[in-house]
Amino acid sequence: MAVPLVDIIGEFDLNNTLAQMQNARYTPESAGRVDSRANTRQGTETLSVLTTLPEVRAAVNEIASSARRLISIYTPDLEPDLYDQTSFLEVIKHFVLTHSFSKVRVLLSEPARVMRDSNRFVSMGRRLSSCIDIRYVAARAPQRASAYLIADDRAIMYRMRADTWDGIADVNNAPVARLYLQEFDSVWNASAADHGLRVARRG
């Protein structure tokens, strides 16, 4: 059985990660005529290398804006520099209010800061609890140093380490997005729905 990318990703540097994502690139199964320039756009230009906070913010907003039914976020503490920003909150608000049956799921690997600090994303989650669900990563679940956001099962923003802004974003890479979505689903199902929103409100 092949070792999943999610199990070996930490062993590679960023360049190797990029190479793996490019090798896993989704190729449209369109019959007949395929425009080579469109292939180039889908095969290359959708992949971005991120190194700064503004780049990661822009990527998070772009990826989240592309979602139609599901946004999945793996983060240590709902990083305020990313997820407590007005532009991102507007994206989330538009997403849950304009798409039927939309869902935002958040997994927190280190929730202590959210419990201490106020966070506008958490406040929105309390108001829109039927659409936004926040869980704490269960102790028995695999612990990751990474952080990522997945839109549906196609677009992804991924940082190998949550304590740096170095990462990648791809708005059209279904194979890689699905690998990380599978990991997310596994941890999500192993993590009981904690009362994180109420705890954060009291904090």
Residues forming a β-bridge with 156 = 150, 170
| Residue from 113, 105, 104, 106 nearest 77 by CA | 113
Is 2 inside a domain boundary?
A: no
Is 32 inside a domain boundary?
A: no
Q: Which domain CATH number covers 87?
A: 3.30.870.10
- Expressed as residue numbers, the domain containing 82 is 12-22+45-202
pLDDT digits (tens, 9 = 90+) for 74-124: 999 899 999 999 999 999 999 998 888 899 999 998 877 666 567 889 888
Is 7 inside a domain boundary?
A: no
Q: What SS3 class is residue 40?
A: helix
Is 5 inside a domain boundary?
A: no
What's the domain count of the chain? 1
Is 69 inside a domain boundary?
A: yes
Is 111 inside a domain boundary?
A: yes
Is 127 inside a domain boundary?
A: yes
pLDDT digits (tens, 9 = 90+) for 111-133: 776 665 678 898 888 888 889 99
